[in-house]
Structure 1
Amino acid sequence: MLKVFDSSTFPYACRAGDNNHVFIHGRKHVLPLAPLFRRDKDVLTLIQDEIKPIPFFIVEDIFKLGLMGNNAVLHPATVLFNVNSIDKARPFQFYKEGNSQKTTLLHEAIDKERLLLAERMGYSLKTNVAMLNQLYGTNFKDHNDLFQNFSVYAQVKAPTTLKHRFLAEDAAFSLVPLLALAKLYELELPNIQSMVQIFSTVMGVNYLENGRNLSGLTVELIESLSKPTQILTAPSISVFVKANKITGSLEDTDKVQKPLMSKL
């Protein structure tokens, strides 16, 4: 049976170059992984170390993993303070030259809102900088320290257009889901909300409508997916998922997984 897992990052800090080249700036020390279905998390312990690119850091469920993503904190805020230079394709080092002590206060504020949402959902997460320290084996104290002194980030050049994954992905598919989850849990994230609105105006795209707004997702479904699924027998599996109102005996897990995945 196929088991599906996800990660919040890559084993390598890298960028695509010309002529099919890939530039690897750094290698992470651990790789966070979470199962699509929480009951499968122990499968990762069966994988031999010899075939792992780096050691695995097992996260209980995909919602916690999603809240651990670094890009939502790192990229959009840096782009925001450098819209003019990026739009005019002026070259600069994205993290080191694109930030200052003052601008990184926005990164810290976004991170605090991310942690607040995680706490409301029942998760205890590390700060973004602490998580990056764990991934890279570093010891930076805050985002300004990270941006100014991390050799891996010092090599990253700024994009030369605003039509870049730092917005197309990280605003639409990182910030918008945070807002969607916050709405479900009756929580306000003012800095993230403002950033999404500003980028929607600048780019002429309604990110709340066109991004990953988690339409159809409910708190009940989140809770059902973030807890171990009750498995009674196999291959005939009896399940009960309140949020989806799925009941009865199903012959294979595909029939269980597909309705749940369609909600994500």
Structure 2
Amino acid sequence: MQDARPIRSVAIIGAGNGGCAAAADLTLQGFDVRLYGRSAGTVAPLKAIGGVHYEGVLGDGFAKIPVITNSAPEAMDGADAVLVMGPTQAHENMAATVAPYLKENQIFFAAPGHTLTLLAHTLRRLGHKQPVTCESSTLPYICRKTEPDKVRVSRKSAKLRFAAFPSDRTEELLQRMLPLFPSLSAVPSVLDTVFYYTNAVHHPPALLCNIGRVESTDGDYCHYYDGITPSVGKIIDALDRERVAVAAALGISVPKLSEHFYQMNYTSEEGRKGGTAYDVFHNSEPNRWIRAPKTVDHRFFNEDIPFGLIPFSELGRLAGVPTPVCNSTIMLAEIATGKSYWDHALTLEKMGLSGLSVADVKRLLERGYA
């Protein structure tokens, strides 16, 4: 049954970069915010001051947050919407954390989403027979915690692709979520949001190509501006072409990296017109001064490969589209780090899609679980 009640109270699950940015932003907008963090060390500095300091495009100030807690039920009690604001590698654990306390009338929203049916499959496995979820393709912000109790928001996303599972709930949930994030824009299904995970296209190859520099300097350079040279950009462009091709084979039209970054307000008109990854990042003001990782044991590999490149590869296999650049990037990163990123990756089996055809998957995304 559809619900048109306005959202007044939100529980934010995750007190990292995105969670703190959302807590500050939504507090400033007048929403009742409750902030949950799993780690006591993350929550303690925020709880000690009763909120979070913020700077950047939100201005400079302090957002008072009435509930900051390590208790998910305390954060979720009475909330109209539960907002999962954490890395994709934490989605399964976050869904498992909220599942026992999630009520049927509470909106379950994830940013970034792009884990296809993982959230719904996890909720179903834990007792929700017909779960409903919604998500955006990326975080609503470019943001970083500069101190344990302070977040810098460099940019608010200009366009956030939005979809629900099942997709017949998208329009209803979009209208309820728009007051929180006005840049939300509906796409046909959560399959669409998967292919807007462009971090997976540029983070792993850029780190892989600069791995010697990271290890010899502890990342003493600007990751995007210095690390993405014309030659590195060509590898990113090739990987991006595979992303677009797999999406097209599944009936989804997605823009190339340069157009997507321009739509998100992450690069300039010059970056869009140039059309290459090199042009995009050398004309990206919000990314210009971001420093490189200090180690290769970093989310650019640990998150963006198992939850980005591997799903692209898996969906390519499902659609019958070869992904040699994607597969080679995964393999070389595994050799360099000694890790097997497939072990805990977002595979078709992990999402509950093993053995299904393309038609079966699309039917599930449209109608949900019977």
Normalising by the smaller structure, the TM-score range is 0.7 to 0.9
Which of residues 53, 57, 81 in structure 1 aligns to 2:185?
Answer: 57
> Using the alignment, how far apart are the partners of 2:348 and 2:334 within structure 1?
18
> Using the alignment, how far apart are the partners of 2:235 and 2:144 within structure 1?
25
Partner of 2:246: 117
Structure 1 residue 165 and structure 2 residue 294: aligned? no
Which whole-Å deviations, capped at 9, do the CAs of 1:161-197 have from their partners, x for residues lacking one? 1111111100111000111111112221110010000
Alpha-carbon distance, 1:111 to partner: 0.6
Partner of 1:249: none
Which whole-Å deviations, capped at 9, do the CAs of 1:32-87 have from their partners, x for residues lacking one? 111021010111343375x3233211111111110111111121111011111223
Query: Alpha carbon RMSD of aligned pairs, Å?
Result: 1.9
Structure 1 residues 48 and 57 mapped into 2: Cα distance closer, same or farther (>3 Å)? closer
Which of residues 78, 99, 106 in structure 1 aligns to 2:228?
Answer: 99
User: Where in structure 2 are the equivalents of 1:4-19 lying within 5 Å?
Assistant: 4-19=133-148
> Using the alignment, how far apart are the partners of 1:54 and 1:94 within structure 2?
30
> Using the alignment, how far apart are the partners of 2:319 and 2:190 within structure 1?
17
Which of residues 156, 163, 176 in structure 2 aligns to 1:34?
Answer: 163
Partner of 2:315: 181
Segment of structure 1 superposing worse, 72-81 or 140-149: 140-149
Give the partner amino acid of 2:142. Answer: A
Which of residues 86, 103, 106 in structure 1 aligns to 2:214?
Answer: 86
Give the partner amino acid of 1:31. Answer: L
Query: Please, which runs of 5 or more residues in structure 2 have no aligned partner?
Result: 1-104, 107-131
> Using the alignment, how far apart are the partners of 2:164 and 2:281 within structure 1?
31
Q: Is the 8 A contact 1:28 1:54 kept in 2?
A: no
> Using the alignment, how far apart are the partners of 1:189 and 1:62 within structure 2?
21
Give the partner amino acid of 1:195. Answer: T
Query: Please, which runs of 5 or more residues in structure 1 have no aligned partner?
Result: 230-240, 242-255, 258-264
Q: Is the 8 A contact 1:115 1:127 kept in 2?
A: yes
The 3-state SS of whatever aligns with 2:185 is: strand
The 3-state SS of whatever aligns with 2:197 is: coil
> Using the alignment, how far apart are the partners of 1:144 and 1:193 within structure 2?
22
Alpha-carbon distance, 1:26 to partner: 1.7
Q: Is the 8 A contact 2:161 2:187 kept in 1?
A: yes
Q: How many residues align?
A: 230
> Using the alignment, how far apart are the partners of 1:180 and 1:197 within structure 2?
14
The 3-state SS of whatever aligns with 1:152 is: coil
The 3-state SS of whatever aligns with 2:162 is: strand
Which of residues 135, 148, 151 in structure 1 aligns to 2:264?
Answer: 135
> Using the alignment, how far apart are the partners of 1:24 and 1:146 within structure 2?
20
Sequence identity percentage: 22
Identify the structure with bigger relative contact order (alpha carbons < 8 Å, sequence gap 6+). Answer: 1
> Using the alignment, how far apart are the partners of 1:58 and 1:121 within structure 2?
18
> Using the alignment, how far apart are the partners of 2:278 and 2:260 within structure 1?
15
Which whole-Å deviations, capped at 9, do the CAs of 1:131-168 have from their partners, x for residues lacking one? 11111174223211121121111021111011111111
Which of residues 182, 205, 208 in structure 2 aligns to 1:77?
Answer: 205
Q: Is the 8 A contact 2:163 2:186 kept in 1?
A: yes
Q: Is the 8 A contact 1:176 1:213 kept in 2?
A: yes
- Deviation >6 Å, runs of 4+: none
Which whole-Å deviations, capped at 9, do the CAs of 1:71-113 have from their partners, x for residues lacking one? 1112111101111122331311010000111210011101100
When normalised by structure 1's length, the TM-score is 0.81
Give the partner amino acid of 2:361. Answer: I
> Using the alignment, how far apart are the partners of 2:240 and 2:304 within structure 1?
14
Segment of structure 1 superposing worse, 203-212 or 75-84: 203-212
Partner of 2:150: 21
Partner of 1:226: 365
Partner of 2:343: 209
Structure 1 residue 149 and structure 2 residue 288: aligned? no
> Using the alignment, how far apart are the partners of 1:48 and 1:15 within structure 2?
24
The 3-state SS of whatever aligns with 2:240 is: helix
The 3-state SS of whatever aligns with 1:192 is: helix
